[in-house]
Amino acid sequence: RCVTSAVDAYLVDGTLPAANAVC
């Protein structure tokens, strides 16, 4: 999913930020 912050991605999804950076 698209996220504005890698840290937010980690906190929200509990997964690696890099994985969440891909839209």
Residue range 1-23, pLDDT digits in tens: 566 677 776 666 666 666 555 65
DSSP string, 1-23: ---S-HHHHHHHH-S-HHHHS--
- pLDDT recorded at residue 18: 63
Confidence at residue 7, expressed as pLDDT on a 0 to 100 scale: 73
Encoded amino acid at 3, one letter: V
- Please give the Cα distance from 12 to 6 (Å, whole number): 10
Please say whether the beta carbons of 1 and 20 come within 8 A.
yes
Can you give the pTM of this predicted structure? 0.21
Question: What is the pLDDT, as a whole number, of residue 5?
Answer: 73
What per-residue confidence (pLDDT) applies to 19? 59
Dihedral (C-alpha) 11, 17, 20, 23: value to the nearest 10 degrees?
Answer: 130
